[in-house]
Amino acid sequence: MSQAIEQKVATWLAGNYDEATKNAIRDLQANHPNELEESFYKNLEFGTGGLRGIMGVGTNRINKYTIGMATQGFANYLKKSFPGEPIAVAIAHDSRNNSRFFAETTANVFAANGFTVYLFEALRPTPELSFAIRNLHCKAGVVCTASHNPKEYNGYKAYWNDGGQLVPPHDTNVITEVEAIQSVDEVKWSGGEANIQLLGADMDAKYIKMLKSLSVYPEIIAQQQDLKIVYTPIHGTGITMVPKVLAEFGFKNVHVVEAQSTPDGNFPTVKYPNPEESETMSIGMAEAKALNADILLGTDPDADRVGIAVKDHKGEWVLMNGNQTAVLAFAYMMEARKAKGIAEPNDMVVTTIVTTEMINEVARQNNVACYNVLTGFKWIAELVKEKEGKENYIIGGEESFGLMIGDQIRDKDAVSAVALLCEMAAYEKSKGRSLFDKMIELYIQYGFYYENLISITKKGMNGQQEIANMMQGYRNAPPASINGSKVATLLDYELQLGKNLITGETWKIKLPKSNVLQFITEDGSKISARPSGTEPKIKFYFSVSTNLTDKSQFDEKYQLLQDKIKGIITDMQLN
């Protein structure tokens, strides 16, 4: 073990840390030296979105002390940003183990710094925090969650006064302040408890009222109130809001998956509490099948992501991917608003650079402005703020099972997404169609786009370096062709440089720097490589397309597109 690690361990054993923490360190010293090294070999980084990591003792773990130091750094930045002004912050948490404790720790530190703190009385969906920040005119907010990560993880997401997650310059400035906190002795741990106010039913009512205002066709729901809905909160916060919101929208036939309805940070029925995973949705799928439901929906632990399943054209239950769900939602919001006569000439939608190009095509054919931003809802929120008063934001979303409907929330919101997806299903049912039938119609109208992604995980101390080496390899020697088609365009968002590899023409990409590479081939395939900002993973996104002229061709063309992506993965040696 290095001297630096030994010094950190000694500091924790001698410092102002509680006895349980010190005993846990001694146990690691005696019985788990490798884990001790992992726990202390670096400081858990406060990234641009906050903290995320495995819970435990040490500088590289999520615990009371790393949370407290991060909060003190954030508090110091807020004081510098709003000198002489009263500062209020809002705090929420999910169903993970220790989330309530971490939220209370965060509240106590902010309160001890003299801030007014609005702390939700119990677990709530992350999007309700975003709404509360705006509603209460807070300067900032924090939610203690690790989203859809495995049960060993927890985290801390930081928000600014617009209800969106931190963007430049605040993200890097907060990081600087957090890194400046060198000792737990610099943290104001207590003394401001009187500054803490609990949020509960009143805020819930305001949030639900706002969500209900997003409905485009309430009269269709009234006709289709018996739409058979199966919903699973996957042991998360969705149970606090989603059934209430569906009832408020007017749906009367909602079945909650009992086995996954109780909030539980151990997520006992799943390996990963992520609605992107078919295994995670399998219990809900079985229930939907048994009930012959119209739609199945699942939300992740902090209820900002939604996954759906419907019956396909053969009557088989299938999970929709995040791109398909986004296309359905975007198309509905554009087409329904137009059909109802409430579309505005300055309507706009926002998607991200790794999300399906089909959204751009739907927007183009509906004469709605469509903006593409970097991955992450903080960038969608930032663009909405920039366009406020000039353009009318309707919907934003990305492939990672996230939607942001309306401008009263500035983060992805699975609660509103569940309600609107059920409204869409009701609308299509009133026309004698399923959502899958609608998807095929959209493919015929706008082009048959198909996407997939793979994640490669590189764990441990060398993982991040291996990922960095992969990206550098692609930068230094980009592939000349992929799956038999020439690479025509290279987009490097880190260098903010686009290049036509056929003509040699270059241009500047007008988006903030981000470690993303995209290869676009002559046949229109798009491959994106992007390291995760929160996990030791690199993600590869694949997008291919073809024409579909008739429903009868669907299976054949779908197989063709799947085979094309398999060919790309094999050619790039990613399998």
Residues 223-267: tens digit of each pLDDT: 999 999 999 999 999 999 999 999 999 999 999 999 999 999 999
* pLDDT tens string 560-569: 999 999 999 9
Residue 36 covered by a domain: no
Given 402, 417, 446, the domain boundary residue is 446
Domain that holds residue 388: 207-214+225-446
pLDDT, averaged across the chain: 96
> Are residues 154 and 99 part of one domain?
yes
> Are residues 241 and 163 part of one domain?
no
Give dist(CA 387, CA 510) in Å, integer. 16
Q: What residues pair up with 53 in beta bridges, in sequence order?
A: 154
Across 288-308, average pLDDT: 98
CATH number at residue 521: 3.30.310.50
Residue 504 covered by a domain: yes
Residue 460: the pLDDT is 66
Residue 9 covered by a domain: no
Residue 378 covered by a domain: yes
Other CB atoms within 10 A of residue 381 CB: 28
Residue 389 covered by a domain: yes
Across 164-174, average pLDDT: 94
User: Which of 75, 46, 42 is closest to 59 using CA atoms?
Assistant: 42
Catalytic center residues: 147
Report yes or no: 481 and 521 within 8 Å, Cβ to Cβ.
yes
> Are residues 289 and 418 part of one domain?
yes
Q: Please check the confidence at residue 295 and state whether its pLDDT lies above 80.
A: yes
> Are residues 438 and 299 part of one domain?
yes
Q: How many residues does the chain have?
A: 575
CATH number at residue 94: 3.40.120.10
> Are residues 469 and 434 part of one domain?
no
> Are residues 154 and 46 part of one domain?
yes
* pLDDT tens string 344-384: 999 999 999 999 999 999 999 999 999 999 999 999 999 99
> Are residues 286 and 244 part of one domain?
yes
> Are residues 533 and 435 part of one domain?
no
Phi, psi of 313 (to 5 degrees): -70, -10
Report yes or no: 531 and 516 within 8 Å, Cβ to Cβ.
no
Q: Please check the confidence at residue 535 and state whether its pLDDT lies above 80.
A: no
> Are residues 308 and 256 part of one domain?
yes
User: Which of 59, 128, 40, 56 is closest to 98 using CA atoms?
Assistant: 56
DSSP state for residue 551 in the 8-state scheme: G
Residue 466: the pLDDT is 87
> Are residues 533 and 406 part of one domain?
no
Q: pLDDT-based confidence at 534, cuts 50/70/90?
A: low
Report yes or no: 190 and 85 within 8 Å, Cβ to Cβ.
no
Residue 530 covered by a domain: yes
Q: How many domains does the chain have?
A: 3
Residue 533: the pLDDT is 64
Cis amide linkage into residue 169, ω under 30° from 0: yes
> Are residues 543 and 425 part of one domain?
no
Residue 49: the pLDDT is 82
Residue 69: the pLDDT is 97
Give dist(CA 338, CA 144) in Å, integer. 39
Phi, psi of 143 (to 5 degrees): -125, 135
The angle formed by the CA atoms of residues 554, 437 and 427, to the nearest 5 degrees, is 165
Q: Please check the confidence at residue 291 and state whether its pLDDT lies above 70.
A: yes
Q: Is 217 helix (H, G, I), strand (E, B) or coil?
A: coil
Given 446, 464, 479, the domain boundary residue is 446
* pLDDT tens string 128-160: 999 999 999 999 999 999 998 999 999 999 999
Residue 392 covered by a domain: yes
Q: pLDDT-based confidence at 1, cuts 50/70/90?
A: confident
Tokens of 409: 């929330």
* pLDDT tens string 456-487: 998 766 788 889 899 999 998 999 999 999 99
> Are residues 194 and 131 part of one domain?
yes
Residue 459: the pLDDT is 77
Residue 480 covered by a domain: yes
Count the alpha carbons within 13 Å of 407 in the hemisphere toward its beta carbon: 17
**Alpha-carbon distance values, 264 to 95, 174, 237, 294, 380 (Å):** 6, 32, 9, 27, 31
Given 414, 446, 478, the domain boundary residue is 446
